[in-house]
């Protein structure tokens, strides 16, 4: 009996680790995490060699009653479900091997225990990272920054959600903390469960309190590291950049996405940085090394095609929509052009 248990769980362990490693390698492009998981997979190989070769001889896949009676699901809800199932498989397999090894191989049991705790730690690190990467990949098309909208914040948020805008950001710099928190809570309820990601500008504390999808930081705000200490591991953090030097510094902080701009002349911000122009903005996009980037500044329905031609697939609007008496019409106009 023990030999068949050992064989089945060694197989589960190796299969689960391979899935996790490939997710980190190809999904996160994370060298350090991929290497760490690869070491755990090598430890699993070493654990296999602790057990006698007769383990393989006792394999009976065709006669396994578990295989006959239990039908595994052939569809997962999403990639996070695949990752979660793989970590569960790994941890359960190691626990079985650890317990069986306690019968006559105490050193192998201790080795398995150490592997189990490493798997727990890796899950703590990998799952939030992948969750954020999946959300950041949704940053495509219109990213609407709500700043003093003519129709009001809540009304514009409702319109944006109804039009399936990819993301909205609440930006109310002149509003005190208390009223801003209450407004953020109302906008969060409008966006909750929708296809529209909800970001708070500047304030990770408020983003955390309302359970926003993300917080966006400017050059004079908290660092990504400090904001991460407030919002935790699952919330997206974006960082504004206005030149190559700022972009390079931002990438070291490891934001989930960056803002690049102003690409064109804009009157939305009184203290805006020098205009980049399409060529410099495009160069910054390439220098972003593949992380999502949002173009911002002076974007209108005439220069939008230039942005797409430069490689951007996500763009921010402020005045073009917030200043419109009929924002639904403006949103539709832009969204038709991005298809």
pLDDT, tens only, 276-298: 999 999 999 999 988 999 999 99
Is the pLDDT at 224 greater than 50? The verdict is: yes
- Give pLDDT, residue 54: 65
Q: Which residue has the tokens 């939008």?
A: 304
- Give pLDDT, residue 2: 79
Is the pLDDT at 1 greater than 70? The verdict is: no
Is the pLDDT at 231 greater than 50? The verdict is: yes
- Residue 193 structure tokens: 């469960």
Answer whether 130's CB lies under 8 Å from 33's CB. Answer: no
Q: Which helix (H) or strand (E) segment is 260 a member of?
A: strand 257-260
For residues 316, 318, 319 and 323, what is the CA-based torsion angle, rounded to 10 degrees?
A: 130
Mean pLDDT of 71-80: 73
Distance, CA of 293 to CA of 256 (rounded, Å):
9
Which of 174, 176, 250 has the alpha carbon at shortest distance from 216?
250
Instruction: Give the side-chain half-sphere CA count within 13 A for 252.
Output: 6
Is the pLDDT at 310 greater than 90? The verdict is: yes
Higher per-residue pLDDT: 4 or 45: 45
- Give pLDDT, residue 290: 83
- Give pLDDT, residue 271: 52
- Give pLDDT, residue 111: 95
Distance, CA of 339 to CA of 218 (rounded, Å):
30
Please name each of the domains of the chain with its CATH number: 2-135 (1.20.1260), 137-337 (3.20.20.70)
Answer whether 219's CB lies under 8 Å from 242's CB. Answer: yes
- Give pLDDT, residue 29: 83
What is the DSSP annotation of 164-214?
T-SEEEE--TTS-HHHHHHHHHHHHHHHTTSSSEEEEES-HHHHHHHT-SE
Answer whether 115's CB lies under 8 Å from 47's CB. Answer: yes
- Give pLDDT, residue 17: 95
pLDDT > 90: percent of the chain: 78
Is the pLDDT at 202 greater than 60? The verdict is: yes
Which residues face 238 on adjacent strands? 216, 257
- Give pLDDT, residue 337: 86
The confidence band for 270, taking pLDDT boundaries of 50, 70 and 90, is very low
Sign for the pseudo-dihedral over CA of 303, 304, 309, 314: positive
The confidence band for 58, taking pLDDT boundaries of 50, 70 and 90, is low
For 2-16, 263-277, 324-338, which range has the lowest pLDDT when averaged over its residues? 263-277
The angle at the Cα of 82, spanning 45 to 167, to the nearest 5 degrees, equals 135
Centroid of chain to Cα 80: 11
Q: Which helix (H) or strand (E) segment is 161 a member of?
A: helix 153-162
- Give pLDDT, residue 57: 53
Q: What is the pLDDT of residues 99-130, one digit of tens each?
A: 999 998 999 999 999 999 999 999 999 999 99
Tell me the pairing of strands 214-217 and 236-241. parallel
Average pLDDT value over all residues in the chain: 91
Which of 213, 238, 241 has the alpha carbon at shortest distance from 227?
238
Q: Which helix (H) or strand (E) segment is 46 a member of?
A: helix 31-50
Q: What is the pLDDT of residues 148-187, one digit of tens each?
A: 999 999 999 999 999 999 999 999 989 999 999 999 999 9
Tell me the pairing of strands 197-201 and 167-170. parallel
Q: What is the C-alpha end-to-end distance of the chain, expressed in Å? A: 59
The confidence band for 233, taking pLDDT boundaries of 50, 70 and 90, is very high
Answer whether 276's CB lies under 8 Å from 284's CB. Answer: yes
Mean pLDDT of 76-105: 92
Is the pLDDT at 32 greater than 60? The verdict is: yes
What is the DSSP annotation of 208-249?
HHHT-SEEEE-TTS--HHHHHHHH-SSSEEEEEE-SHHHHHH
């Amino acid at each position: 009996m023990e030999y068949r248990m050992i064989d089945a769980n060694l197989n589960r362990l190796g299969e689960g680790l391979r899935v996790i490693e490939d997710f980190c390698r190809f999904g996160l492009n994370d060298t350090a995490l991929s290497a760490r998981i690869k070491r755990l997979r090598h430890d699993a190989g070493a654990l296999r060699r602790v057990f006698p070769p007769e383990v393989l001889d006792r394999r009976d896949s065709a006669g396994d009653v578990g295989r006959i009676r239990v039908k595994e699901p052939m569809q997962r809800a999403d990639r996070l479900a695949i990752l979660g199932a793989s970590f569960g498989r790994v941890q359960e397999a190691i626990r079985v091997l650890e317990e069986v090894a306690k019968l006559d191989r105490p050193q192998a049991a201790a080795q398995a225990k150490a592997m189990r705790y490493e798997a727990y730690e890796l899950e703590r690190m990998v799952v939030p990272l992948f969750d954020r990467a999946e959300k950041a990949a949704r940053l495509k098309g219109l990213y609407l920054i709500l700043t003093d909208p003519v129709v009001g914040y809540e009304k514009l948020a409702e319109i944006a959600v109804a039009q399936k805008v990819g993301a909205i950001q609440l930006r109310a710099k002149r509003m005190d903390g208390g009223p801003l928190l209450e407004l953020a809570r109302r906008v969060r309820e409008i966006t909750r469960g929708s296809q529209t990601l909800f970001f708070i500008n500047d304030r990770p504390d408020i983003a955390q309190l309302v359970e926003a999808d993300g917080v966006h930081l400017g050059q004079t705000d908290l660092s990504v590291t400090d904001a991460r200490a407030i919002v935790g591991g699952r919330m997206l953090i974006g960082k504004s950049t206005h030149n190559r030097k700022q972009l390079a510094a931002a990438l070291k902080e490891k934001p989930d996405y960056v803002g690049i701009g102003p690409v064109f002349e804009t009157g939305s911000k009184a203290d805006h940085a020098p205009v980049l122009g399409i060529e410099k903005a495009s160069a910054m996009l390439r220098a972003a090394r593949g992380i999502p980037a949002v173009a911002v500044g002076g974007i209108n329905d005439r220069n939008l095609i230039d942005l797409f031609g430069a490689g951007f697939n996500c763009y921010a609007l402020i005045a073009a929509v917030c200043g419109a008496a009929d924002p639904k019409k403006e949103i539709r106009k832009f969204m038709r052009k991005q298809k």
